Structure 1
Amino acid sequence: MNTSLLQSGTLWPAVLRQTAHALNCGALCPIQTTRATIEDSGVCFLIRQVSSLARKDKDEQRRKAKPADKCAVNPFLPYDSNLFVGNISDTHLVLLNKFNVIDHHLLIVTRRFELQENFLNLADFSALFNCITQFDGLGFYNSGPAAGASQPHKHLQIVPLPLDDAAPLLPIEPLVAAVIARMDDAIGTVPGLHFPHAFVRLDPLLATRPLDLARNAFDRYMSLLDAAGLHAIDVNGEPQQSAPYNLLVTTRWMMLVPRSTERTEGIAVNALGFAGSLFVRNGMQMETIRKLGPMTVLQRVAGPNAM
C-alpha cells in the first residue's frame, strides 16, 4: 500500500491521471445526466436528471445483502485501489467517487473508521483545505443519512468549480458575493436563501496558507454549530452531533444548514442542493421541483431555524 503523501501542487494532475486509469479499467462508473435550470428567488438552480442509476442501485443492493458488519459494507476499508488518488495527510486519503455525476468528484476519507455523525475536527479541515487550495473546488459534508450521506465512514467531498461551464462558480454565488462584500467576521445569513442556515466568510489572506486557513475555518465551524443550535452528545464515549446538518466550504466562506429529513416528495437532497444544484431520478421528480420551486424543496428538508 502506498503511504507517501501527495506533494503540494500535485493533486490535480493525480486526479486526472487516476480518472483516466479508473475509466479505462471500469472502476469508475459515471452517471449520465441531462441538465435543466429553474430560476427561483434570484438563484438559477441547476437540476440534473439522471438517465440511469441501474449500476449504482445494483451495487447498493449487493452491499445491503452482506452481513450488517461495518467492515463488510464499508467501501473505504478496504478501498478500491483503482479509485485511489493519493494520501493527502497522515489521517486522510483521497478517492474518486465511484458513481460520479460531476466529473472529478472526490472523497476525502479518514484512514481509520470514524462515524459520519461525529463532529469534524482540525485534521478533517486540514485535509480538506490541503485539497481545495490546490484547485478551485467546493467542499461539503453530509453529516449522516438524514443529511444525504450514504456511507457511515466519515468522509468529506469535493467537486471542482464551476459546477456548470455556462454559469458562475455556484448557482448561489451572486447572492453570496453580495453579502460577503459587506459582512464582517460575525456569523450571519445570506438574504435570498429562504431556508435555515448560518453563514460566515473566511479570511481571504489565508488562501495561500492551507493550515492557517484550516485552523480559522475550524474555529468558524464551531461558531456555525452554535448558531444553528447544534451541540455534542455522548454516544458510547464519543462526541456526536445532536442533529444532522450539511456544511458547504470554499476558501472564501462556509455555510451550515440544519436538516430535518433526507427527502421530500421522494426527492433526496444533500449539501449540493443548498449550493443550488439538485438531482432528480426521473421526469416526475423534475416536474415536482418545477411545481414546488427549488427553494421550497430546500425549505422542506432543512431543520429548525438557525440564528
Structure 2
Amino acid sequence: MEGLLGIRESLSTLISRKFREAYKNKDIIFSDTSLAIVQTQNGIPVGPNPFIPYNFLFQLRYCPALAKKPTSTPTSKPQGGSSDTHKMEREDSKTEKPKFNPFANPAPELLIAQVPRGNDNIKYSHALILNKFPVIKNHFIIATKSNKPQTAVLEEDDLSMTYACLRAWSNQRHDPAHSKRLFSFFNSGEHSGASQPHRHLQFLPVEDMLRNEKEHFDLLIDHMTVQAHPDLPLYQDPALPILHFATPLEEGNLSASALHSKYVMLLRAAISAVQHPGEPFNSSSSFSVEDNSGSAAVSYNLAMTTERMAICPRRKEGAGILRGASASGPDSFVAINGTILGGTLMVKDEAEWDLLRQDPSVLEDLLAELGYPLLSWLSLEPTVTDARM
C-alpha cells in the first residue's frame, strides 16, 4: 500500500530534507525539550487484573515554548476590568477575523507533497505538510485537500493514505540494522486535544522521540496485547488505567476497506463502553457511531503503527495538577492529545514538570481524569496473548 503515495523518493529522506530546509530558512519554529521517563511506582491494579507484573512508562517532555504557540481559537477575555476594557471587547467581537486554516492552502515552504501522486487522471485527496511548531524533529501532518471536519468519522482514504505513510517509512530503511518506525495519531472531538477543525492526522518518527540512538522506549500502543474480548480482536494494556482498545494490523497490504472496518470496530467498541457501560459488546450491537450533528458520538484519540491501531475515548482534554501555592491559575493546565497512545505527554510549566517527575502518581490521577475507567466485563482470564503479528 506504500506505493499508493506515488512518491519516488524515500519518504523519510523527503521529510528530513524538507524539515532541514524549513528550519534553516526559519519557516518552522522548532522548540527543543527536556525529556524524562516517568515510571509508576507500584503498577496500576485495574479491575480483576492486578496480576500484571509490569509498570507502565510515560515519556515526559518539558517545553516552555508551548505556552507561546498560537492557537486556532481565541484566548478567553479577562473577567472584570474597566468600562474601557469592556468597550474594547465589544469592538474586538465586531472585528474578529476568521480563524486561520493552515491546511486550506499550505504554505509552499511547509508543503511536502500532494498525494496520491501519479498520472493526471488521479486527483489529489491529501497533502503532506510539515508541522509549523514542532517539538519533535520531522513532525509532519496529512490533511485532506478539501476542508472536511475533524470531528466526523474518518473515511477509507484517510486511513489508507495514513497507513501508506507508515509502511513507506518502515520499508525504506537506510540501515537494516536500525529499523525506522512512524507513529501516527488523530484527535477528534472537543475533549481530544484537537487544535484545528480541518481534518488531519499527525506523524512522529519514533527515533526522533528519543534522546539518542542507544535509548530504548516502547510506544504504549506496543503493549496493548492482552485480549479484552472473547470473540473480537480487541486488546488492551491493563497497566493503563483508562479505557482503550487496540486491534492488530496483519502483515502485508491491508485494503482500504479492511482498515476502515478495523477502525469502525474500535470506534463502536469505544462508544459502546462509554454509552452503555457494563453491557456486553459484539459485532451485532445496534447503535450509530455518529451523533445528530454528523460528528463521531464520542471524543477520542486514535493511533496507528504498521502493527496496530488503537483508540482511547476521552471525557476531558486536560486538567490542572498543581495545588496550593504551586498552582498558577488557569495557566496550570496539562492537556494531552493522541500522543497519549504513544506514551508521551508535554508540559509547559516548570512546576508541572517537577511534580510529575517527583510524584508519578499524579500522572495516574491525571490519566484517570481525562479518560474513562476500564470496564470489568471486558476482562478475561489472566492469559496474556501477544497480538503482534
**1:1-307 residue pairs with structure 2 within 5 A?**
6-7=6-7, 10-40=10-40, 41=43, 42-53=55-66, 55-57=68-70, 67=96, 69=98, 72-89=99-116, 90-135=124-169, 136-162=181-207, 163-164=209-210, 165=213, 166-171=215-220, 173=222, 175-176=223-224, 179=226, 186-204=233-251, 206=252, 209=253, 212-229=254-271, 231-235=289-293, 239-265=294-320, 266-290=333-357, 291=359, 292-303=361-372, 305=374
Shift of 1:108: 0.5
Distance 1:116 1:298 in 2: 23
More strand by share: 1
Shift of 1:138: 0.8
Larger Rg: 2
Q: Deviations over 1:184-211 (max 9, x none)?
A: 961232221211111111112x2xx2xx
Q: Secondary structure at the match of 1:232?
A: coil
> Do the aligned partners of 2:271 and 2:298 also contact (CA within 8 Å) in 1?
no
Shift of 1:219: 0.8
User: Identity across aligned pairs (percent)?
Assistant: 26
TM-score, normalization: structure 1?
Answer: 0.85
Q: Deviations over 1:204-229 (max 9, x none)?
A: 2x2xx2xx254322111100111112
Q: Deviations over 1:31-54 (max 9, x none)?
A: 121111110232221100004236
Q: Secondary structure at the match of 1:82?
A: coil
Distance 2:64 2:115 in 1: 33
> Do the aligned partners of 2:67 and 2:348 also contact (CA within 8 Å) in 1?
no
> Do the aligned partners of 1:32 and 1:51 also contact (CA within 8 Å) in 2?
no
* Structure 1 residue runs without a partner (length 5+): none
Q: Secondary structure at the match of 1:81?
A: coil
> Do the aligned partners of 1:260 and 1:304 also contact (CA within 8 Å) in 2?
no
Shift of 1:67: 3.5
Q: Secondary structure at the match of 1:107?
A: strand
Change (3 A) 1:53 1:233: closer
> Do the aligned partners of 1:9 and 1:134 also contact (CA within 8 Å) in 2?
no
> Do the aligned partners of 1:95 and 1:109 also contact (CA within 8 Å) in 2?
yes
> Do the aligned partners of 2:242 and 2:373 also contact (CA within 8 Å) in 1?
no
* Structure 2 residue runs without a partner (length 5+): 44-54, 78-91, 117-123, 170-180, 273-288, 321-332, 379-389
Q: Give the letter aligned to residue 106 of structure 2.
A: Y
Change (3 A) 1:158 1:214: farther
Moved over 6 A (4+): 58-62
Q: Give the letter aligned to residue 364 of structure 2.
A: M
Aligned-pair Cα RMSD in Å: 2.6
Q: Give the letter aligned to residue 20 of structure 1.
A: R
TM-score, normalization: structure 2?
Answer: 0.68
